[in-house]
Structure 1
Amino acid sequence: MTESHHAPLQDEVPSSRQPASSVYSKYKKFVLPLFGLLTLCLAYTSSVTKPASNSVFKGPVSLQCKKPESYRPSFNKSVNLILNDEQFKIDSIKKLSGAIQIPTEINDVNPSPDDDLDYYSEFFKLHKYFEETFPLIHSHLKVEKVNKLGLIYTWEGTDPSLKPILFMAHQDVVPVNREMWDSWEYPPFSGHYEAATDYVWGRGSNDCKNLMLAELEGIEQLLADGYRTKRTVILSMGFDEESSGLMGANALAPFLLEKYGPDSMFSIIDEGAGLLRLDKNLYIAAAVNAEKGYVDVKISVHGHGGHSSVQPDHTTIGVASELIYMMENHPFEYNFSLDNPVYDVLQCAAEHSSYLPPHVRDAILEAPVDENKRKVLTEFAASHPYIRDLIRTTRAVDVINGGVKANALPGLTNFVVNHRVDIHSSVNETVENDLYWAKVIAEKHGYGLSFHDEVIIPETKLGHISLACEKMLEPAPVSPISGHVWDIFAGTVQNLFQNEILAEEEDADVYVTGGLFSGNTDTKYYWDLSRNIYRFVAGIFPFDQLKTIHSVNEHISASSHVSAVAFVYEYIVNVNEYGHD
């Protein structure tokens, strides 16, 4: 934690308030799907079939959500091939399918590669598969292994003075519950392609072997086309992202930092959002440029054991339960600041979608100049379960343990509280809120209170409550959505989808914005390497695909996969052609 653990507790209740349940009922007829678990692209639709109005907003506030200038590469030898050639698509599906068939599952707790290499045998099969599937990459790029399993591919540029482009992905996938195996449409590690739906099925198809394969395929095709990069291109692939990247990205990032130095990357691209269709012909590409922070707080209620026939007023389980009740009924306050990337997405929807209710549209667009409208916007966002947690710190009790026998008093009860820290808050502020409620309960029941080694209330004969932080991560730096680096990134997305993929769709409009994740990707270890970090997968993702990530029937459309290949191809060329340091 970068701030002091020991800031004094305040006498007043820390910022929190009740959920706006009454407001939610007012707006519940409008559906707001977010990009799966962690995305920001909005898709409001009315409960009636016709739009809420016949035109976009034409109020006094000038439009802010504008299409970026398209960046079209002069070297585009294979873009049409990637997007439209049937044989290329078949080959690409086969490559993705083969990677899915290798079950690189990772658990919450895993041995160090130094201690048990056999545990990671499937990862070595994947490495061998890469060697066989991408021969040009393995003959032209330098391949290095970090901590035995992390992969670094380096395509040396002809001009070493230019900052490299860094692409990221992770080799691992979340485990498949064997008890749910029969619930899958197709076996989870089959990599089955269903031509009728254009779907590739299997664990990792959408998180994130699709991105990993797209990066490799895009570079392989550039090499096949004889392309020479001026700017060095790096692929960095961790192997335990699904368990916080402690052995993968946590080793890869320092390796790159030592070699290239701070702020040495032109940009970093990792897994993230994509495009969602808001209206019939309106698409928003939300490139996630911010992530919430993280802290786990372990709270232990220490008491005294004994026979349960001699009952105290409250057992340690009872005291812990009351503290949990207090915390859950006093959530953190909603803080919808207009520099939150959520607002960028809402603003695009309000300016260009005809399906938003007029009063919601007005609140979004007039919020910068009208405090009352801003309150309406905050109230609306806070009322909706799909967006409210992107504008506040969250607190969820996920683990609890207490007691060992029915006739024995529990001498110790502990529980773990997981927080996702608002981008304008901090780990310290979050923990102080937990400490406040712990103090309330400790004083009520005559218990002591401590935080790590600091005694806040001396222990009493009844017991004490202790708090300790187990994992801490401040909110990520917010990457800019203006300036030269952003312009090339957004302009590549704009050109790829507006002028190529959706060119034949009548009146299709694409807009590119920033976005926010409530979780954390492996980029949390790479902050020192670049201020330009964009978490984006270049595909069009229906909500039914996104909600299967980490769940049964994970799948992705083959067309979305090849569009990601095309993005990698175009982006490398565009940064070489238009980029300057």
Structure 2
Amino acid sequence: MTEPRHHPLQNGYPSSGQSTPSTYSKYKKFVLPLVGLLALGLAYTSRSADSVPSSVFEVPVSPQCKKAETYRPSFNKSVNLILNDKQFKIDSIKKLSGAIQIPTEINDTNPLPDDDLEYYAEFFKLHKYFEETFPLVHAHLKVEKVNKIGLIYTWEGTDPSLKPILFMAHQDVVPVNREIWDSWEYPPFSGHYDPETDYVWGRGSNDCKNLLLAELEGIEQLLADGYSTKRTVILSLGFDEESSGLMGASTLAPFLLERYGPDSMFSIIDEGAGLLRLDKNLYIAAAVNAEKGYVDAKIAVHGHGGHSSVQPDHTTIGVASELIFLMENHPFEFNFSVDNPVYNVLQCAAEHSSFFPPHVRDAILRSPVDENQRRVLTEFAGSHPDIRDLIRTTRAIDVINGGVKANALPGLTSFIVNHRVGIHSSVNETVENDLYWATVIAKKHGYGLTFQDEVIIPETKLGYISLACEKMLEPAPISPTSGHVWDIFAGTVQNLFQNEILAEQKDAEVYVTGGLFSGNTDTKYYWDLSRNIYRFVAGIFPFDQLRTIHSVNEHISASSHVSAVAFVYEYIVNVNEYGHD
């Protein structure tokens, strides 16, 4: 095996620096996006620009971040009601609160519904709650259950030749640790509403019963207004998104694919980002149109045990620890190009806000035409924890096991490495990198090595290291941020916030861009149904709200919730009015 040129061997393994994949070509067949942006810009304002050449302050680049053309629905009977009527808001809060009070927690491992329906009792309570809360939806839409608990709602359009609109959400929530229950300001399944802060509190309030309820409520209101849709509208509601959708979305998507066929949906809307206020008058709506990939690597050091009084040079724990040390100290390289959706957010912020220092603003705006400035931008983005992981593959050692007794040598030590694969990388490239470091350690300590149960280095008298991949997912296809489908989506967001929600804030400026998640939503199962997948919740989300997702004191503003209801209402009408296939 040939080591990478910029990793000369020192003390038996490469010196520190950025890691490089191995040359095992025979094995090649194998995300909060915006939270740190403001902090990132503010952090850089403290840097002195005195040493920067004056030329870098010149930005001879025409503005690229422009407002989307607004799409105003001619049928808007209840938009003002949804956004401004006090009683509608009270009723909407009550509906969301009631859903939060049903604790549809899902764990990392769960029984198959066919094996234990009682395990999912809370989900059936939620289904009953939907029937009682949205009577028009259940009177006019076809409701089907997939794998017992997944829900498909179908509002048949009058023109079956038109591609349907698909809305997604998930019924489940992450569990609440009972040991820290008292740390919550309000009980986690209370659905408490505080009128002074306008917050609705509770697990699922922001992930993502808010979106689920907004979709049902938006359709309920359209039906109440007597609206008839030309284009079929579908809701697909999974029940185990928080454990990778293995039983929910993974069965719902094939169900829809069999019924409608490939590329059959006009667009898909699922949970994602919303509007972030970056300046006193600047709002960026980042509709997430890309997601990183995923792969878990299970690595084990197999030894032969023995009595601990007969000390080897290194136990399997020691060998595993050295491999972990190497992996953590050789992170993946940053790879930031202007086709990364994160760039669009930075570009809008640079063109329309004042918190970036001039040399950083210049680097952002000149990156498409200046490689040196792109390197400056990469250094800028890579210097801050909140954004750096959106421009590289990540590697986190999350689980480790080894040893059973103080006086017995550990015969086996294993650990799991979780990767979120960068959008310009691949599962294969990621795993080859792990394999390279496993090879370095195996050779240094005289161990064998297997990869996916195939022998790379024969087992020795000391043992062998094994590496196997699980849950492999390539980065998601990047959905377009131009063209007819995007124009209607972005134009609906532009109109809703610029002309309706923020209309009284005369100096408010709203820009709609793409965005990137470092994690994965249920949309990973729906790629074949549409190339137009946008992960977006139409609300204005302060930093403090985003940081409570999956954590203590999860909450959402009621105003952001009703704005999501308005978006669903307007978007359905706009696609019917302006959309063409």
TM bucket, shorter chain: over 0.9
Match of 2:144 in 1: 144
Match of 1:43 among 35, 38, 63: 38
Distance between the aligned counterparts of 1:10 and 1:166, measured in 2? 49
Match of 1:357 in 2: 357
Distance between the aligned counterparts of 1:97 and 1:453, measured in 2? 50
Q: Which amino acid aligns with 2:108?
A: D
- The unaligned stretches of length 5 or more in structure 2 are 8-13, 19-30, 50-56
Match of 1:370 in 2: 370
Match of 1:164 in 2: 164
**In the alignment, does 2:70 pair up with 1:75?**
no
Residue 470 of structure 1 deviates from its aligned partner by 1.4
Distance between the aligned counterparts of 1:561 and 1:181, measured in 2? 25
Please say if residues 41 and 345 of structure 1, whose CA atoms lie closer than 8 Å, have aligned partners that are also in contact. Answer: no
Q: Which amino acid aligns with 2:262?
A: P
Distance between the aligned counterparts of 2:15 and 2:228, measured in 1? 57
Residue 476 of structure 1 deviates from its aligned partner by 0.3
Q: Which amino acid aligns with 2:37?
A: L
Distance between the aligned counterparts of 1:49 and 1:415, measured in 2? 41
Match of 1:12 in 2: 4
Once the two structures are superposed, the pairs formed by residues 100-499 of structure 1 within 5 Å of their partners are 100-499=100-499
Please say if residues 154 and 234 of structure 1, whose CA atoms lie closer than 8 Å, have aligned partners that are also in contact. Answer: yes
Distance between the aligned counterparts of 1:513 and 1:440, measured in 2? 43
Change (3 A) 1:532 1:271: same
Equivalent pairs, count: 554
Distance between the aligned counterparts of 1:539 and 1:17, measured in 2? 47
Please say if residues 69 and 491 of structure 1, whose CA atoms lie closer than 8 Å, have aligned partners that are also in contact. Answer: yes
Instruction: Deviation per CA, 1:277-303: give whole Å up to 9, x if none.
Output: 010000000000000000000001001
Distance between the aligned counterparts of 2:502 and 2:525, measured in 1? 35
Match of 2:26 in 1: none
Distance between the aligned counterparts of 2:322 and 2:297, measured in 1? 17
- The unaligned stretches of length 5 or more in structure 1 are 1-8, 21-35
Residue 337 of structure 1 deviates from its aligned partner by 1.1
Once the two structures are superposed, the pairs formed by residues 533-544 of structure 1 within 5 Å of their partners are 533-544=533-544
% same residue: 86
Change (3 A) 1:171 1:14: farther
Q: Which amino acid aligns with 1:229?
A: T
Residue 355 of structure 1 deviates from its aligned partner by 1.2
Distance between the aligned counterparts of 2:400 and 2:45, measured in 1? 47
Q: Aligned with 1:387: secondary structure?
A: helix
Change (3 A) 1:17 1:557: farther
* Structure 1 segments of 4+ aligned residues over 2 angstroms from their partners: 13-20, 36-50
Residue 454 of structure 1 deviates from its aligned partner by 1.4
Q: Aligned with 1:269: secondary structure?
A: strand
Instruction: Deviation per CA, 1:62-85: give whole Å up to 9, x if none.
Output: 111000100000000000000000
Please say if residues 164 and 234 of structure 1, whose CA atoms lie closer than 8 Å, have aligned partners that are also in contact. Answer: yes
Question: Could you tell me the TM-score, scaled by structure 2's length?
Answer: 0.93
Residue 46 of structure 1 deviates from its aligned partner by 3.7
Distance between the aligned counterparts of 1:166 and 1:500, measured in 2? 25
Change (3 A) 1:13 1:253: farther
Distance between the aligned counterparts of 2:366 and 2:45, measured in 1? 27
Q: Aligned with 2:511: secondary structure?
A: strand
Q: Aligned with 1:399: secondary structure?
A: strand
Match of 1:29 in 2: none
Q: Which amino acid aligns with 2:126?
A: L
Change (3 A) 1:324 1:208: same
Please say if residues 145 and 151 of structure 1, whose CA atoms lie closer than 8 Å, have aligned partners that are also in contact. Answer: yes
Q: Aligned with 2:385: secondary structure?
A: coil
Residue 49 of structure 1 deviates from its aligned partner by 11
Q: Which amino acid aligns with 1:67?
A: K
Please say if residues 334 and 391 of structure 2, whose CA atoms lie closer than 8 Å, have aligned partners that are also in contact. Answer: yes
Please say if residues 43 and 276 of structure 1, whose CA atoms lie closer than 8 Å, have aligned partners that are also in contact. Answer: no
Please say if residues 160 and 231 of structure 2, whose CA atoms lie closer than 8 Å, have aligned partners that are also in contact. Answer: yes
Residue 14 of structure 1 deviates from its aligned partner by 9.0
Residue 370 of structure 1 deviates from its aligned partner by 1.3
Question: Could you tell me the TM-score, scaled by structure 1's length?
Answer: 0.93
Distance between the aligned counterparts of 1:110 and 1:94, measured in 2? 30
Distance between the aligned counterparts of 1:428 and 1:544, measured in 2? 37
Residue 453 of structure 1 deviates from its aligned partner by 2.3
Please say if residues 342 and 516 of structure 1, whose CA atoms lie closer than 8 Å, have aligned partners that are also in contact. Answer: yes
Residue 17 of structure 1 deviates from its aligned partner by 10
Match of 2:523 in 1: 523
Instruction: Deviation per CA, 1:6-56: give whole Å up to 9, x if none.
Output: xxx653179999789xxxxxxxxxxxxxxx935478325647999x99xxx
Please say if residues 33 and 515 of structure 2, whose CA atoms lie closer than 8 Å, have aligned partners that are also in contact. Answer: no
Instruction: Deviation per CA, 1:436-483: give whole Å up to 9, x if none.
Output: 000000000010111012111111111110000011000000000000
Change (3 A) 1:46 1:448: closer
Distance between the aligned counterparts of 2:35 and 2:65, measured in 1? 15
Q: Aligned with 1:92: secondary structure?
A: helix
Distance between the aligned counterparts of 1:107 and 1:13, measured in 2? 45
